[in-house]
Amino acid sequence: MLAPAPFLFDLDGTLADTLPDIAASCNHVRARFGLPPCPTAMVRGFVGDGARTLLARALQPALPAEPAAAARALDDAFASYVVHHERQCTVHARLYPGALAALQALHEGGHPLAVVTNKPARFAAPILRALGLERLLPVVVGGDTLPQRKPDPAPIRHALAQLGAEPLGATMIGDGVQDLRAGKAAGVRTIACLYGYGDPTALRAEGADAFWSAFGEPTD
């Protein structure tokens, strides 16, 4: 008898809408650099590759041209973001409709479940606790868990190892091309979430085994 298949989930834009909190912390840092607030829709386009890359995109007009100076500025920006986001990250975060019921059903069916996100684990874990998902998603691989982040397959492989599961039959679910590329490189099935923060056209062009128009709702 085959063991229940594992499911791995991205967090931001896949399980939960966390964009308002990301935008609040992003704009806090922008203000420190003398920049005006970014509209939330613009911050949406910065999400997906981890907090430091988000800040590099958000602060681009204010960063020094010299690489070493830019790196120091980003270090300062990231430290400020961490302090702010530790307080902010759970304020507005909300599960997408249908996510809790679907996760509960998978858990009751014996499916191993994990989160594989490029968000630092120091933020991902409190969000999952605040949303009541800690018991359902016991394994969390964040953007700071390993030296590699998605689209590298290493975080997926690490999550599967933590679950004691094999890639065969596993599924990676996410709203970014990073999720799809990591899943393909790890040899797992992929589901693209068209309702999240990623560009649906880019997700379609990247290709996936299935597409969701809302959480758990397949579409052509």
Q: Pick from 64, 88, 112: which residue ends a domain?
A: 88
Neighbours of 153 (CB within 10 A): 19
Give the catalytic positions in this structure: 10
137-147 average pLDDT score: 96
Residues 14-34 pLDDT 10s: 999 999 999 999 999 999 999
Q: How far apart are CA 22 and CA 24, in angstroms?
A: 5
135, 155: one domain = yes
Instruction: Report if residue 143 sits inside a domain.
Output: yes
User: Which CATH number characterizes residue 198's domain?
Assistant: 3.40.50.1000
Do 69 and 145 sit in the same domain of this protein? Answer: no
Q: Which two tokens stand for residue 165?
A: 């599961």
* pLDDT one-digit tens code per residue, 155-195: 999 999 999 999 999 999 999 999 999 999 999 999 999 99
Q: Percentage of the chain with pLDDT > 70?
A: 100
Task: Let me know whether 45 and 147 are in one domain.
Answer: no
Within 13 Å, how many C-alpha atoms sit on residue 108's CB side?
6
Exposed e or buried b for every residue in 38-56, given b needs 16+ CB within 10 A? beeeebbebbbbbbbbbbb
Would you state the pLDDT for residue 212?
98
- Domain assignment of residue 1, yes or no: no
Residue 73, both tokens: 């500025």
DSSP class of residue 137 equals -
Q: Are residues 135 and 50 in the same domain?
A: no
Domain count for the chain: 2
Backbone phi, then psi, for 210, in 5-degree steps?
Answer: -155, 160
- Reported as a single tens digit per residue, the pLDDT across 89-128 is 999 999 999 999 999 999 999 999 999 999 999 999 999 9
Q: Which two tokens stand for residue 62?
A: 């204010």
Q: Whole domain around residue 79: which residue ranges?
A: 20-88
